[in-house]
Structure 1
Amino acid sequence: MKKRVFSGTRATGRLHLGNYLGAVKGYVELQNSSEYESIYMVMDLHAITTPYDKEKLSENTRNVIMDYLACGLDPEKSIITAQSLVPEHSYLAHILSSEITVARMQHLPTFKEKVKQHPDHVTMALLNYPVLMAADILLYRASLVPVGIDQEPHLEVAREIARKMNDKYGTDFPEPKRFATKGEYVPSLTGEGKMSKSVEGSYISLTDNLDEIKKKLSGAPTDSGNGEKIPEKGGVVNLLQLVELFEGLDKRKEYESKYLDEGIRYGELKSGLAEAIYKDLMPIQKQRKIYEDDPSLVDRIIKDGAEKARKIASETLDEVKRKMGLINHD
């Protein structure tokens, strides 16, 4: 029996290199394996838990789905759709919220971080974010969730809820585990941390052209280009990591040798790196244009994905309602 995989991306805009190498490339590998049945969604309900632009939400959702498809996710092999088109997610989240306390949610480090980021937008939706995430996963009885280590506290909530539901009501939810794909850590262009949509100037989008990539790289912080020791953190080491990712380890070593000797010409490094990144993005952009030119095809994929997802989700929800003693229409 195939293991079911569930993962998603918040509907906050087009995907960037970090999303691709760190997540979506791994999604494609799982999709193409005979061991797994995969469901990938754009999490637009999660997007409204923090301040967002209502005029752009639907467009952002479609853009992520087109990026999914351009990167190789196949609607014939995976369920691909938007979270809000499957109302069972919200329904099950409300049911599951009866099995977890407010205090438990308030103590999560991720909740505390969001409160600091958005002190004027501490809503019940934000507090219930991990419960909705648990519903997203348990609704499909997914046992594997390819997400970053930062989501581990939320997965622990999902496991805790699954145990309580199984013990109290006799459901058979698996306890989901984080599945680490072979994704790459893609460093930020700012010199600190990793690429992130929430940090302006830190990322390169999958849809960026060569000039846009060059412009973004030109702003990456550097130093004099010469020293007695290779920097261990900051803009220079981030650039060298990007060189290794897109031009190979030998090219990185070549630049490191120059740094310790005659010095690096960063204009030359950034120009070569931009060309290498764009070369990798060209097939994705070519594939994306197919979907940009055929909106009805994208509509069908989203609609078909929602129908497939609802078939699984409704069966799970009906079972949960029955076992919890809620009135069923049967």
Structure 2
Amino acid sequence: MYSASQQRYDKMIYNRVGRSGLKLSAIGLGLWHNFGSVDSFENQKAIIHQAFDLGITYFDLANNYGPIPGSAEENFGQIMAGDMKPYRDEMIIASKAGYTMWPGPYGDWGSRKYIMASADQSLKRTGLDYFDIFYSHRPDPKTPIEETAMALDELVHQGKALYIGISNYDGAQTKAITTVFNELKTPFVIHQPRYNMFDRTVETDLFPVLKAEHKSAVSYSSLAQGLLSDRYLNGIPADSRAHKTTSPFLHEDQVEKTLATVKQLNQVAKDRGQSLAEMALAWNLREPEIASVLVGASRPSQLVDNVKALDHLAFTPAELTKIDHILK
């Protein structure tokens, strides 16, 4: 039977989310990969246990995570019902609705019908009474933003979510939905954008809005699907995600095109006494709007390595200038 480490809170950093009372662990665990029906359940348990022992309290799900869609929530729910049940009040558990989940016109996007049904399904799969954060996973171009906002607000009134977040909204969309949330007095506190050294669009588009509205962000794809690590420095392993994936975020050509840049960044990391992955996570956390960075893991030891990023978060102006020069 799992018993959490007594030292789990000794080294982790917890950042306040905007002006809210909520704090997130600076490193969060994303369950986008490695928690589906095709993955080892015992390994999933080991990853969750390791994460919690390291002080990681933020666990990030979505209704469609798998494969098959929904299986990540189901597997996480089984782990929660067993080993992790005594620690529920020490955990921030999030899920999302917005991408295709079931057939027909009601299983996608941001209508009230879809969001309310999806939240109920996600709670059933996880066996939870509520989510700490529930996100709109993407903006819906054909549904009024007020409808999506009011549906999310209703989840709070129903006791199904404590806080509300949005993901993949651009700056203008974020400003628009924030206006509605402010009118409703919705506890909207966080945005989840894709952000890493290779994808910096949100620095000029989204972050100024978050700063003005006193909201925070939790970044996903923080290591660019593994590009910002030593995984591909010496070629593309046969068992790597780049070799196997059909994801638009990672493919073999992308590895080849970024290799020279990655090698230069790796040298900067070495000069700092860090691995490239550690430096990439620390670089994300340099942004004041970033409360937490999400990492994925296929084995527990990866989390041990990722958390080492917190040992050296500071960058000198010269280091930041050199990184910017490399990325250009």
TM-score by shorter chain over 0.5: no
TM-score by length of 2: 0.31
- Ranked by relative contact order (alpha carbons within 8 Å, sequence separation 6 or more), the top structure is 1
- Structure with higher Rg: it is 1
Normalised to the residue count of structure 1, the TM-score between the two structures is 0.31
More helix by share: 1
More strand by share: 2
